[in-house]
Structures are given as structure tokens and as C-alpha cells.
Amino acid sequence: DQQVKQNSPSLSVQEGRISILNCDYTNSMFDYFLWYKKYPAEGPTFLISISSIKDKNEDGRFTVFLNKSAKHLSLHIVPSQPGDSAVYFCAASDTSGTYKYIFGTGTRLKVLA
């Protein structure tokens, strides 16, 4: 049972344009959401998070939007840069539990110069 889904395995975007990565979840108990970026042969690096009491969180070029009614979140990267090319994982947590993360399968972003 895949509780966190990233339905787009890959995405290509031109440098300078906006990248939009999407994530859907099924468990209504999830109340904390995160995005991680991963380069080959490295561990995931934390990018940005959002709690369920908010619908938007922004950090520099990265903005995460949360739509609780649709059980959907998205990561916007503006402007996209070639160094952003990586696999992006969405993760969710039910913080009334033991704070374990449930990850999506990832979206491979390629930013074209």
C-alpha cells in the first residue's frame, strides 16, 4: 500500500523556468511533510518542510504548497538551475506516532542548460 505517491518518475525543465514536482498521499493522519533532494551515491538532503497547519512554506527558490483537502503537495523551484538536477523525494509523517517518514518513489528532475 503506497501511502505517498509521486506519479511522475521524471521531469525535464529549461534552466531559468519553474520546476513543479507533485506528491499525493492517502493517510489523513499525516501532518508533517518534507522534500528531500538526492544525488547519485549520496544520502538524501533536506530541502524544505511544511506542517499541516500551513498551506505554504517558502525558502529562497523553493516553495512547498499543501492542499489538505486534496491530500496533495507540490514543490516549486524558481528559477531552476542545472545544479538542481537530482532525484526529489516527498516524505510524510504522522507526528502522533514515532516520527518515522514514509517516502514516495521519487521524481528525477533534469534541468537543461
Partner 1 sequence: NAGVMQNPRHLVRRRGQEARLRCSPMKGHSHVYWYRQLPEEGLKFMVYLQKENIIDESGMPKERFSAEFPKEGPSILRIQQVVRGDSAAYFCASSPSGTYSNQPQHFGDGTRLSIL
* Cβ pair 6, 105 in contact under 8 A: yes
Shorter beta-carbon distance to partner 1: residue 28 or 105: 105
Q: Output b/e per residue, 10-40; b: 16+ Cβ within 10 A.
A: ebebeeeeebbbbbbbeeeebbbbbbbbeee
Shorter beta-carbon distance to partner 1: residue 15 or 101: 101
**ω into residue 44 within 30 of 0, thus cis?**
no
Please report, as ranges, the residues that interact with partner 1 according to CB under 8 A: 4, 6, 32, 34, 36, 41-46, 49, 51, 89, 91, 95, 97-106
CB of 62 to partner 1, least distance (A): 14
CB of 46 to partner 1, least distance (A): 4
Shorter beta-carbon distance to partner 1: residue 2 or 14: 2
